[in-house]
């Protein structure tokens, strides 16, 4: 609309319908007199109210929003108070049953490292393998809010929602820590049957080599 011709936008990662992003990164090739740092303001005048461009800049011709990224970080949020919170409802899973965060933490900690996580890989992905380098993974409680956060070199299709759904079973004592570990280590995708709802998931940050452009939440 601004340039008068189609423009291809390459995103750093995709999210399911209902999933949020506070740090999505995208790039596009353009020949325009508009200075690179002005594109954020120009685009914001044309975008809907629930999308905001935080910043824009010029990058080298061989830079790619997706393939140049060295890591991504996601957070899944559960709201565990019996009374719903209308302000948090669009951004969390209201799970009012008691859950034991300590057991969830014990279950997720061994995921750090390089693992074949086929158990958390939904069908429909074009990725030829399920190897993931998990750099950080933890679960914590802050009052009624339970946060599950994972940073990895890349994420499998549906990985975070499947992982969150299984960890809630651990927190509810419907699955032991040992059983959870055995399922993903033996790549039993058939035993991972439930994905957490999309609204609790948010793409937090994306890291690039030699760059200080990382959003912080």
Give catalytic residues, as residue numbers: 16
Q: What is the SS3 assignment for 86?
A: coil
Of the candidates 88, 210, 201, 202, which has an alpha carbon nearest to the alpha carbon of residue 144?
88
C-alpha distance from residue 139 to each of 31, 86, 107, 116 (Å)? 45, 23, 9, 21
Instruction: Tell me the β-bridge partners of 202.
Output: 20, 75
> What is the maximum alpha-carbon separation in the chain?
60
Q: For 150-169, give one letter per residue: b (16+ CB within 10 A) or e.
A: bbbeebbbbbbbbbbbbbbb
């Amino acid at each position: 609309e601004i340039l008068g011709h189609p423009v291809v936008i390459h995103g750093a990662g995709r999210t399911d319908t209902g999933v949020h992003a506070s740090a999505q990164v995208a790039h596009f090739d353009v020949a325009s007199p508009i200075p690179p740092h002005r594109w954020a303001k120009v685009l914001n005048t044309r975008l809907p109210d629930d999308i905001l461009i935080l910043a824009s800049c010029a990058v080298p011709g061989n830079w790619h929003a997706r393939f140049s990224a060295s890591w991504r970080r996601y957070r899944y949020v559960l709201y565990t108070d019996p009374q719903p919170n209308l302000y948090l409802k669009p951004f969390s899973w209201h799970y009012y049953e008691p859950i034991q965060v300590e057991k969830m933490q014990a279950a997720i900690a061994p995921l750090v490292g390089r693992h074949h996580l086929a158990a958390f890989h939904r069908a429909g992905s074009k990725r030829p393998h399920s190897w993931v380098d998990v750099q950080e993974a933890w679960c914590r409680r802050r009052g009624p809010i339970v946060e599950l956060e994972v940073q990895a070199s890349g994420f499998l299709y549906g990985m975070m929602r499947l992982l969150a759904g299984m960890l809630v079973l651990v927190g509810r004592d419907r699955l032991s820590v040992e059983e959870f570990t055995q399922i993903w280590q033996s790549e039993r995708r058939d035993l991972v049957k439930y994905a957490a709802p999309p609204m609790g998931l948010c793409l937090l940050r994306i890291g690039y080599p030699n760059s200080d452009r990382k959003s912080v939440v």
